[in-house]
Chain A
Amino acid sequence: MLHDGPTPQNQPADTGRLSRRRLLRIGAVGAAVSVAAAALAACGESQVVTVEKVVTQTVVKEVPVQKIVPQTVVKEIPVERVVEKVVTVEKLMAPGQQTVTVYSGRSESLVAPVLAQFGEISGVDVRIKYAGTPALAATLLEEGANSPADLFYAQDPGGLGAVEPLFAPLPQDILERSPAWGRHADGLWTGVTGRARTVVYNNRKFTEADLPDDMFGFHDPAWKGRIGWAPTNGSFQAMVTGMRAVWGEDRTAEWLEGIKANEPIEFPKNTPQVAAAAAGEIDVGFVNHYYLHRFMSEQGESFNARNYHLRGGGPGALIMVSGAGVLASAANPEPAQALIRFLLSDVGQSYFVSNTFEYPMAPGVKTHPGVTPLDNIKRPDIAPSQLTDLKGTQALLRQLEVLP
C-alpha cells in the first residue's frame, strides 16, 4: 500500500500543537495592540497620577511582546513542510514476515519515531539496539561476522569509518540520494543527515559582527578564558582532521597552539558547551549546529545563544554526516536497505529537518527555516575519505598535550 501525504498518526498531533501555539500568539498580539492603544490614549490627555503609573508599566511590557511577533513567523513555516510530505517507499514487504535488526548509535529520543514509522509503513518488524556510536562500533568489531545486526546507524563518520570493513556496498539507487561528499567513495555507507561545525556564541554579549572571520581570529588574546572546546569529542576531532586536510599539519598545530594559549575551557561534549554559552560561562564554543535548536525548542527564544557560521569559511565550517550502512553479515539485507531508502526518502528527510534540525542529504528537501541554509555556509571541499585519518589527528592532539 502506498500512503500519500502525512501518516494519520502524525497529522492531527502536529496541527493540534500548531493551532494551540497560534492561539497563544493571537492572544499576545491582541495584548500588544490594546497596550499600545492604552499608551496612546494616556499620552493624549492629562490624567490622574495613577494613570501615569499604568503607562510606565505598559511600556516595560511592550518590548518583549514586539520581539516575539516577527520570530513566530519563522516558526510557522514548518506548516507548509507538513503539507509537502510525499511517501516514496517503493518496495513494500509482506507484513509480519520480515525483521530488521538495527544498531542505532543515534539516540532513541532523536530517531525512534522515524524508525517506528518505517515499521508501520513497510510492515517490517524493526528491532533496535540503542547505545552510543563508539560502544556499538566496538560491539560490532567484537561480534564480527556473527553479529545479529543488519544495519548500523551511526552518529558520525568516525563511527562508520571504524566498522567500514564490515559493511557491504549499498545499491546505486540509495547512494544517488545523497551528494558525493556525504557518502563513502565505494558506497559502503551513506550519509542520512548533515550537521555543520559552527561557533556557538552568547548573543547577549555579542552579535555576529563582533566575531572573527575565521578560526584563527580566536587567537586574539581578547578571547582568553572565554572559549569552550571538547577535544575528546568525535566531531571536534573530525574537524581537526579536516583542518589537517585543508591547512596541513603545521598550520593545524599552529591553530591548536594558539587556542591552547587562550586557555580554553574543556568540555566532554557539545551540549554542555551550548548551555555554558547561553549562561555566559563561556563566550564562544566550537560545536555542531543542531544542539542549539534542541535547547531552544525547550527553552524558547530567550535561550541566550546563537550559531555563527564563520563568514570566512574553512574547516571550522565543515559539514559532517550521520549515516548508515548495511553489514555484509546481515541476515536481512533487503529490509535493511529498504530502511535506509526510507530514511533518505522525502518523508524520512522531512522528519529530520523538522525534528532534529539537521541538513537533508536528499535533493529537493528543504532545510528547516530556522537553520542557516547550506548554500550560505562556506564549507570546505572535503571528501569523507579525507576525514578518516583519526589516528593522525589524535597523535597530533596528544603531542600538543590537548588529549590525555
Chain B
Amino acid sequence: MASVPAVERLPGSFATRRSPPMGLTLLALAVTALLLLPVIYLGIRSFDAGTETWQLLARPRIAAVIGRSLLLVVSVTVVAIALAVPIAWLLTRTDLPGRRVWTVVMVLPLVVPSFVYALVAGTALGPRGLLQKALEALFGVTELPSIYGFPGALLALALLTYPYVLLPTTAAFRRLDPALEEVSRCLGRGPLRTFATVTLPALRPAIAAGALLAALYTLSDFGAVSLLRYETFTAAIFVQYQSAFDRAAAAALSLVLVVAAIAIVALEARSRGRSRYHPLGPGTTREYRPTPLRRWRWPALAGMGLVAFATTVGPGAVLLYWLVRGLAAGEELLELVQPLVNSVSLSALAAAMLVVVAIPLGVLLVRCPSRIAALLERVAYVGFALPGITVAIAFIFFGINVARPIYQTLVLLLAAYVVLFLPTTLGAARAGLLQVHPRTEEAARTLGKSPRQVLWRVTIPAVRGSLAAGAAMAFLLVMKELPAALLLGPIGFRTLATVTWAAADEAFFAQAASSSLLLIVVAALPIAFILVRRGPTGILRASG
C-alpha cells in the first residue's frame, strides 16, 4: 500500500515533541509581543473610560448588536464554505475548461474593498437600482424587494470572503494523496460517501483555517455592513470614533471584539482537535487523474460564471458605467501612477515579509508544541478581527511614544500589517505543514542534512503551494487595506485604496471607479504570477 488513510484519530502524540530551538522561541516571543500591542493599547485606553462607558456596554441594544454580529458571522462562514469547497474541487479535480483563468478570477473578490462592493451592490440591486430600471423597461417592474439589512450583508460578505476558504482548500486538494480516496472506493464506498468521509475530513484543517479568516473578517467589517444597513457590533465601535471622538469608549468596546475573536479561534482549534492529516507510511503523492465533467461541464461553467459575475464582472461593469458617465460630464480624474506603484510595491513587500515570518512560526506551531506556540496561536488572529482603525491608532500610540524614528515610515506600516494579516500566511503555512509527515524531515536529517537544509530543501518545497495561497491572500488584503495606509503611512503616501476611498466618500463616482477598476485589474496580474505560473496542471502543486 502506498499510504495509509491519513485522517486517523490517535490518542497521545506521535508528533515529534521537542523543545523549540532558541532562535525560534525568540522570534515567536517578538512576534507575539507585536501582536499583543493593540490589546495592550486597548487595555491602557479603556482604563480612561468612565462608568458611563461601562454602562453603555451593559445596554440591551449592545447585546442585540452582538447577537446580530454573531448571526452574520456564522451565516457568512457557512455560505463561504458552501461556495468555496465545490469551486476548489472543480478547479483541482476536474477537467473544467479554463481552470487557470478561473483560478485567478475566483480569488479576485479579495481585492475588492467592501465599501466599493456595497456601494455598487446598492446602485445595481437596490429597490430602485439599475436592475430595477432594466426590469421596468422590459416588464414594468417598479420596485424590487430591498436588499438592505441581513440578506444584503450576508450576500456581500459571503461573496467577498469565500476566497479565504477557497485558497487553502485548493492547496490542500492538490496536496491530498489520491490513493486515499482510491482505497475508500476499493473498499466499496461510493464517490459521494468517499468525498464526505475521506476527502472532506482530510481537507478540514485547510477549510477551517479559511473559515476562520472569513468569520473574523466579517466580524471586523464596517464598510459593507454600514452601507447595506445591517447594524453590527463594529458599528457601535465606529460611532465612538466617528461622532463621539471618544477613544476610551471605542477601546472598551473593541476589547469585547478581542474576546469574541479569541473565542472563535479557540472554537476552531477545538474542531481541529488532535487529528493528524499527513500520510502515516512512506510513499509519494502522485498526480490526480481529473474527473471528466462531460455534460456537467455546462452547469459547472455557468455556476462559476455566476460567481464571477456577482463578484467582479458585474461590479466592474457598474464601475465602468460610472467612469464613462463621469467622463462624459467633464469629470477630471486623479493621477493614478504613483498610487499604483505604491500599492503594488507595498503589497508585494508586505506579502513577502508575511511569508518569511510565517514559515518559522508555522514550523513552531506544528512541530514543536510548546507554551509560547500556544500563546502565539491564540493571539495571532486578534489583529485580523479588530477594525483596522483600532490597530492603526494603537500603532500611532506606540509609534509616537516609543518608536519615534520609525513613526510615519513604511517600517511601522509593515509592522502593523504583520499584526493585521499574519493569519493569512501563518494559517496557510500551518495547514500545509500539517499534511507533511515529520518523518520526511527526519529522513532528510538522517541522510546528513542540517536542520536549515531540511527546511530549505524538504519542508518549504513541500508546503510551497500553501505558502503561495497565503501570499496571494496577504497581497490582495494589503492592496485594499485602508486605515493603516492612511494613518500610518508616510505623509503624502497614496495607494489605490486610499484614492478610491477619498473619491467614493465624497461621491466622486468617476474618480472612485477609475481607481477601483485599476485596483482589480492590477491585482489580477501578480495573483496570476503567484498562483498559475507553474505549468498548465501544476498550479499550486507542491507534493512532498
Q: Which residues of A contact B (CB under 8 A)?
A: 17, 20-21, 101, 107-110, 112, 127-132, 134-139, 141-144, 146-148, 158-159, 161-162, 232-234, 237, 265-268, 271-272, 274-276, 279-281, 291, 294-295, 297-300, 390-391, 394, 398, 401, 403-404
* Closest chain B residue, CB of each to CB of A137: B245
**Contact yes or no, B491 A299, CB < 8 A:** no
User: Distance in Å from the Cβ of B88 to the closest Cβ of chain A?
Assistant: 34
Known pairs A266-B229, A280-B128; list 5 more (Cβ under 8 Å). A129-B487, A135-B487, A232-B238, A298-B508, A390-B245
Expressed in whole angstroms, the Cα–Cα distance for A158 and B119 within the complex equals 26
B507 touching A295, Cβ below 8 Å: yes
**Closest residue on chain A to residue B241 by CB atoms:** A134
> A131 contacts B126, CB within 8 Å?
no
Q: How large is the interface on B (under 10, 10 to 19, 20 to 34, 35 or more residues)?
A: 35 or more
Known: A109-B508, A266-B229, A298-B326. A134 touches B491 (CB 8 A): no
From A279, A291, A298, residue with most partner B Cβ within 10 Å: A298
State how many angstroms separate the Cβ of B364 from the closest Cβ of chain A: 33
| A234 in contact with B330 (CB, 8 Å) | no
- A128-B229 in contact (CB<8A): no
Can you report 9 A-B residue pairs in the complex whose CB atoms are below 8 A from each other?
Answer: A127-B491, A135-B487, A138-B247, A161-B245, A234-B242, A237-B243, A268-B229, A404-B62, A404-B239
Contact B329 A297 (CB under 8 A): yes
- Asked if B502 and A130 make an inter-chain contact with CB atoms under 8 angstroms apart, the answer reads yes
- CB pair A139 B393 closer than 8 Å: yes
A404 near B247: Cβ-Cβ < 8 Å:
no
Determine how close the nearest CB of chain B comes to the CB of A118; give it in whole angstroms: 15
How far is it, in angstroms, between the C-alpha of A20 and the C-alpha of B327 when the chains are bound? 14
The reply to whether B499 and A108 contact each other, CB–CB distance below 8 Å, is yes
**Does B245 lie within 8 Å of A298, measured CB to CB?**
no
Q: Which of B56, B231, B329, B486 contacts A298 (CB 8 A)?
A: B329
Q: How far is the CB of B73 from chain A (nearest CB, A)?
A: 17
Contact call B326/A403, Cβ cutoff below 8 A: no
Closest to B401 in A: A146
Complex contact B334–A109 (CB within 8 A):
yes
- Out of A109, A143, A161, A234, name the residue touching B400 (CB < 8 Å): A143
Chain B residue nearest in CB terms to A236: B243
Q: How far is the CB of A123 from chain B (nearest CB, A)?
A: 17
How long is the Cα–Cα vector from A234 to B238 in the complex, in angstroms? 12
Q: Which residues of A contact B392 (CB under 8 A)?
A: 135
**Which residues of chain B have C-beta atoms less than 8 A from A141's C-beta?**
245, 247
Q: Given the interface contacts A108-B502, A129-B492, does A268 sit within 8 Å of B227 by beta carbon?
A: yes
In contact, B229 and A127 (Cβ under 8 angstroms): no
Taking the nearest CB of chain A, how far is it from the CB of B499, in angstroms? 7
The answer to whether B498 and A142 have CB atoms under 8 Å apart is no
Do the beta carbons of A404 and B505 come within 8 Å of each other?
no
Give which listed residue, A128, A159, A276, contacts B491 with CB less than 8 A.
Answer: A128
Alpha-carbon distance between A224 and B12 when the two chains are bound, in angstroms: 65
**Chain B residues with Cβ under 8 A from A142's Cβ?**
247, 393, 396-397, 400
CB pair A271–B506 under 8 Å, yes or no, is yes
* B227 close to A272 (CB less than 8 A): yes
1/0 contact string of B57-73 vs chain A (CB within 8 Å): 00101100100000000
Q: Does B129 contact A (CB under 8 A)?
A: yes
Q: Are B243 and A234 in contact (CB under 8 A)?
A: yes
Decide yes or no whether B331 CB sits under 8 A from chain A: yes
Say how far B118's CB is from chain A's closest CB, in angstroms: 9
